[in-house]
């Protein structure tokens, strides 16, 4: 049987494990990244330097390599993957679905029109727009870029009173050339979640649901992501129903989806969706360890036109994606990382900051100082391992 060829859009350090998993599953993997020394190239059969948002450049590579599947690993690659799949006649989401999945304004409009529960929202660009939007939405509210992609909570900020609005607008509009901003109602939730979904032949399969802990307001950056969710069976079924509805409403027929939502007193409320697996270590090792489902490989199988081997979780292990957010200041040294790496149950750990660099207050995800991933037979034990490991990493300041 011919070995199928898969083009993966993105090859940073975060995606090395997923690239390697696809190779181990028997695929010939071509990884594309604009960084000529991307760490993920070492895990691929072939690494190609290319900006993944350049659709025609990627299409040219896809034709040269005679690919059978194209897989985005972040939002930047989603429109490109749809564009290439349509022109090569290989499985993929439609270009219309890719637009809905990467444009928050269009996403919310589609969800609202199809009855998917999501926050009240208004769109603003100018000061007068914001006045009208606040009249509709009220305080507290959340501002976020309408057409920005890339994740990491870029430009997302909570506004609790009028005196905070001017600075919040400046922050929210500082990340992208398009200044269009969503002004949405602040959802009072019991728990916030993310969910991992694999879509096969039009049917969404919810593989994993997490609980999320955020950094302090006014920003909305993940501090930790804990698997599995603590909600009971009845509430979980409600979440699954809402997640499936959000996927179907955007017209996603194949591949993966990463969904952000919350449990509230009135039921689930949807926030956002990405038409790819969750970022960083989410598919590999987290979801694989927690559920037994090899999320990234099964996603590749659906996009390669192959039959998935396992879309039903076979275990319920605990796993914690813990982000490191030490106090701001100039770093003199960091210790404890290698000792933590050797601990049983630590699946991965990395610190980004180096001596002499300055840790900034965390307003977006890229300002976090590092991460660790802890896994254990139970959720509670995984949380304990994560907290103990975080405490063992010491940041010393000048």
5-90 against 188-316: fold identical: no
The reported pLDDT for the residue numbered 127 is: 87
37-50 residue pLDDT tens:
999 999 999 999 99
CA neighbor of 97 nearest in space, from 178, 238, 199, 209:
199
Question: For the segment 119-172, what is each residue's pLDDT rounded down to a tens digit?
Answer: 999 999 998 999 899 999 999 999 999 887 777 789 999 999 999 999 999 999
**Domain residue spans of the chain:** 5-90, 120-185, 188-316, 319-397
213 to each of 34, 225, 239, 322, how far by Cα in Å? Answer: 32, 6, 18, 10
Residue range 14-24: mean pLDDT, rounded = 95
Q: What is the pLDDT, as a whole number, of residue 151?
A: 72
pLDDT of residue 152: 75
pLDDT of 218 over the 80 cut = yes
Q: What is d(CA 75, CA 257) in angstroms, rounded to the nearest whole number?
A: 11
pLDDT at 207 over 90: yes
Domain 5-90 has CATH 3.40.50.1000: no
**Can you state the angle between helices 127-137 and 165-172, rounded to 10 degrees?**
110
Would the pLDDT of 290 be above 80?
A: yes
Q: At what angle do helices 104-114 and 95-102 cross, to 10 degrees?
A: 100
CA proximity to 219, closest of 300, 152, 301: 152
pTM: 0.95
Task: Find all residues with CB under 8 Å of 275, minimum gap 6, and list them.
Answer: 72, 75, 78, 93, 97, 98, 101, 102, 250, 252, 255, 256, 257
Report d(CA 104, CA 122) in Å as an integer: 12
Note the pLDDT tens digit of each residue in 305-338. 999 999 999 999 999 999 999 999 999 999 999 9
Query: Per CATH, the architecture of 188-316 is what?
Result: 2-Layer Sandwich (3.30)
Measured in degrees and rounded to the nearest 5, phi and psi for residue 77 equal: -85, -10
The pLDDT confidence band at residue 189, using thresholds 50, 70 and 90, is confident
Give the mean pLDDT of 183-197: 94
Q: pLDDT category, 373, cuts 50, 70, 90?
A: very high
Average pLDDT score over the chain? 95
Return d(Cα 155, Cα 133) in angstroms, integer.
Answer: 17
Mean pLDDT calculated for residue range 51-62: 98
pLDDT in tens, 25-40: 999 999 999 999 999 9
Is residue 301 predicted with pLDDT exceeding 80?
A: yes
Q: Is the pLDDT of residue 356 over 90?
A: yes
Nearest CA to 78 among 374, 231, 303? 303
From the candidate CATH numbers 3.30.460.10, 3.30.470.20, 1.10.260.40, 3.75.10.20, the one assigned to the domain spanning 319-397: 3.30.470.20
Q: What is the fold of 120-185?
A: Dna Ligase; domain 1 (3.30.1490)
Mean pLDDT of 211-223: 94
- CB-CB contact of 182 with 220 (8 Å): no
The position carrying tokens 């990395």 is 350
Instruction: Give the span between the Cα atoms of 373 and 377, in whole angstroms.
Output: 14
Can you tell me the mean pLDDT for 250-274? Answer: 96
Closest by CA position to 296, among listed 10, 52, 19: 19
> What pLDDT, on the 0 to 100 scale, is given for residue 343?
98
Give residue 313's pLDDT: 97
Quote the pLDDT of residue 146. 87
């Amino acid at each position: 049987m011919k070995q199928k060829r898969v083009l993966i859009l993105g090859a940073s350090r975060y995606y090395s494990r997923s690239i390697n998993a696809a190779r181990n599953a028997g695929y010939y993997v071509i990884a594309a990244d604009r960084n000529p020394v991307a760490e993920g190239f070492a895990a691929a059969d072939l690494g190609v330097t290319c900006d993944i948002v350049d659709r025609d450049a990627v299409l040219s590579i896809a034709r040269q390599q005679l690919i059978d599947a194209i897989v985005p690993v972040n939002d930047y690659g989603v429109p490109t993957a749809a564009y290439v799949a349509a022109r090569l006649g290989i499985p993929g989401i439609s270009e219309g679905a890719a637009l809905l999945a990467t444009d928050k304004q269009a996403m919310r409009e589609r969800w609202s029109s199809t009855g998917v529960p999501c926050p009240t929202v208004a769109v603003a660009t100018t000061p007068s727009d914001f006045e009208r939007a606040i009249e509709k939405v009220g305080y507290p509210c959340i501002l976020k870029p309408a057409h920005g992609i890339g994740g990491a909570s870029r430009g997302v900020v909570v506004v609790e009173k009028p005196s905070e609005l001017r600075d919040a607008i400046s922050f929210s509009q500082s990340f992208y050339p398009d200044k269009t901003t969503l002004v949405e109602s602040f959802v009072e939730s019991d728990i916030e979640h993310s969910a991992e979904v694999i879509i096969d032949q039009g049917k969404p399969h919810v593989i994993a649901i997490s609980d999320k802990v955020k950094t302090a307001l006014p920003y909305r950056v993940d501090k930790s992501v804990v698997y599995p969710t603590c909600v009971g069976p009845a509430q979980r079924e409600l979440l699954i129903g809402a997640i499936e509805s959000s996927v179907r409403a955007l017209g996603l027929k194949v591949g993966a989806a990463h969904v952000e939502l919350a449990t509230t007193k009135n039921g689930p409320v949807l926030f956002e969706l990405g038409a790819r697996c969750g970022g960083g270590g989410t598919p590999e090792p987290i979801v694989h360890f927690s559920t037994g489902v090899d999320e990234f490989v099964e996603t590749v199988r659906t996009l390669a036109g192959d039959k998935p081997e396992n879309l039903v979780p076979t275990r319920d292990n605990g796993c914690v994606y813990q982000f490191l957010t030490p106090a701001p200041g100039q770093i003199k040294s960091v210790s404890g990382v290698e000792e933590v790496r050797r601990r049983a149950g630590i699946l991965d750990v990395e610190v980004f900051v180096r001596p002499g660099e300055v840790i900034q207050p965390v307003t977006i995800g890229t300002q976090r100082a590092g991460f660790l991933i802890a896994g254990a037979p139970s959720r509670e034990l995984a949380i304990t391992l994560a907290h103990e490991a975080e405490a063992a990493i010491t940041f010393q300041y000048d």
